[in-house]
Amino acid sequence: MTSRGFRSTPIGMNLARFPRRRYTPGPTPLEPMARLSAHLGGSVELWIKRDDLLGLAGGGNKTRKLEFFVADALAQGADTLVTCGAPQSNHCRLTLAAAVAEGLKCRLVIEERVPGSYAADASGNNLLFNLMGIERVTVVPGGSDLGAAMAAEVADLAAGGRRGYAIAGGGSVPLGTLGYVACAEELLAQSFDQGVAFDHLMVASGSAGTHAGLVVGLESANAELPVTGINVRRPQAEQEGNVHKLAVATAAFAGVPAIRRDRITCLDRWVGPGYSLPTPGMIAAVRLLASTEGVLLDPVYTGKAMAGLIDLVREGYFATGSRVVFVHTGGSPALFAYRDVLAAQ
């Protein structure tokens, strides 16, 4: 096949110098979505990077970030992981799973971004918090200072002679973002091995770490592979600013050149009424991918991102014959908390 889409050039950084725990035995699958491509008219060849199949309970993109955080936490002698997220947070689920895997305790700070949306007895990820033995869940109103709330948990642990380790929401700080720098390197290696060159990469854009890490990894490799994020919460300008700021900080942390602002694209047409709130496009996308490819998306992130990808294909956003890869960031356990809107009528 031709080498369109990116140049095969040496990777620009050595991630081996950063301590890392491994929770996934090998690369996640890189697969064609032939039936979905045909369903959408066949003008664009769609592929999927299956990061929903990463290790830890239920998989998903936060596993790559936790590999770096947990290595750091263990090096610091931590006995408890503390993190934050919204109700049904995949990041919280996987942080708890990593704690269990390492014999640590875990505390969560849950931000009710939609008032009244947290229920301890809900299905989905909330059920898994209970099954995996969460030590404490603290619920705070939307807009709260989550850093302060986590610091209070760490202080409470210290008062009892324990050592907590706080992980930023979504793991979206430079250390965690290295997980998706590593994913970009993995994707390029698979692309080369499978003889498949891509013209565009699509990903859900939320707390910014996954999006920023992919951009840093691809740019450091001179991959010439544009990345488009589909926003799940914020307006375009705000989200692009967040992703760019984190990408610049991650590049500096990793010791590679800064990322230009024009390398960041975030589209906000598919957010709908707000974060985690269902949209008709999300529901249709979740059902379509399940019925054409047997792949489960989630209602908060990948469902809306896939809705964006589907619409962009139909609108001719990608040139005819383009090969587009969708990075599936996981989250399918949350489907069970949205049964009422996703079940066939």
For every residue of 107-173, DSSP letters joined together read EEEEEESSTT---TT-STHHHHHHHTT-SEEEEEETT--HHHHHHHHHHHHHHTT--EEEE-GGG-S
Distances (CA, A) of 24 to 11, 53, 55, 63: 22, 9, 5, 8
**Are 94 and 227 found together in one domain?**
no
Please tell me whether residues 159 and 104 are part of one structural domain. Answer: yes
Catalytic residue among 8, 37, 43, 89: 89
Does 10 map to a domain?
no
What lies within 8 Å, CB to CB, of 318 at 6+ separation is 43, 44, 199, 200, 312, 324
Q: What mean pLDDT is predicted for residues 6-19?
A: 66
Q: SS3 for 181?
A: helix
The residue assigned the tokens 């996640």 is: 28
pLDDT tens, residue by residue, 158-176 = 999 999 999 999 999 999 9
Q: For residue 101, what is the domain's CATH number?
A: 3.40.50.1100
Task: Report the range of poorest mean pLDDT among 26-35, 41-50, 118-127, 212-221.
Answer: 118-127
pLDDT beyond 90 at 122: no
State how beta strands 30-32 and 45-50 pair: antiparallel
Q: Is the pLDDT of residue 9 over 50?
A: no
Point out the domain boundary residue: 171, 198, 216.
171
The Cα–Cα gap between 119 and 98 comes to 23
Given pLDDT bands bounded at 50, 70 and 90, which one contains residue 145? very high
Establish if 197 belongs to a structural domain.
yes
Domain contains 1:
no
Give mean pLDDT, residues 249-269.
Answer: 97
197 and 49 both lie in a single domain: yes
Q: How many domains does the chain have?
A: 2
Tell me which of 145 and 13 has the higher pLDDT. 145
Looking at the fold, whether 96 and 242 belong to one and the same domain comes out as: no
**What pLDDT, on a 0 to 100 scale, did the predictor assign at position 114?**
81
Known catalytic residue at 117: no
Whether 192 and 290 share a structural domain: yes
For residues 211 and 287, the answer to whether their CB atoms sit within 8 Å is no
Please say whether the beta carbons of 156 and 42 come within 8 A: no
Tell me what the mean pLDDT of segment 40-46 comes to: 97
* pLDDT value of residue 345: 52
Looking at per-residue confidence, does 330 or 122 come out higher? 330
Task: Identify the domain boundary among 116, 139, 171.
Answer: 171
* Dihedral sign for Cα atoms in the order 28, 34, 40, 41: positive
Structural domain including 163 reads 62-171
Q: Tokens in use for 203? A: 């990903």
Q: Is residue 145 part of a domain?
A: yes
Do 38 and 66 have their domain in common?
A: no
pLDDT value of position 113: 86
Q: Residue 8 falls within a domain, yes or no?
A: no
What's the pTM value of the predicted model, to 2 decimals?
0.93
HSE-up of residue 258 (Cα within 13 Å, Cβ side): 7
Distance CA 335, CA 299 (A): 6
What's the pLDDT score for residue 115?
85
- CB under 8 Å to 28, separation ≥6 — which residues? 49, 50, 51, 53, 54, 186
- For residues 262 and 11, which has the higher predicted lDDT (pLDDT)? 262
**119 lies in the same domain as 145:** yes
Residues 251 and 151 in one domain: no
Residues 196 and 263 placed together within one structural domain of the fold: yes
In a domain, 4, yes or no: no
Question: Across-strand partners of 228?
Answer: 202
Identify the three-state secondary structure at position 93.
helix
Mean pLDDT of the chain: 94
Mean pLDDT, residues 137-153 taken together: 96
Q: Which of 122, 150, 171 is a domain's end point?
A: 171
* Predicted pLDDT at 343: 87
* Confidence tier at 12 by pLDDT (50, 70, 90): low
Q: Judge whether 6 lies within some domain.
A: no
Q: Is the pLDDT of residue 4 over 70?
A: no
Report which of residues 7 and 149 the model is more confident about.
149
Same structural domain, 164 and 305: no
Mean pLDDT of 247-272: 97
| pLDDT given for residue 117 in this prediction | 85
143 found inside a domain: yes
Instruction: Say what the pLDDT of residue 1 is.
Output: 31
**Average pLDDT value for residue range 246-253:** 98
Q: Do 73 and 130 lie in a common domain?
A: yes
Q: Is the pLDDT of residue 5 over 60?
A: no
Mean pLDDT is lowest, of 23-27, 119-123, 144-148, 303-307, for 119-123
How close are the terminal C-alpha atoms of the chain, in Å?
A: 44
Is 99 found in the same domain as 45? no
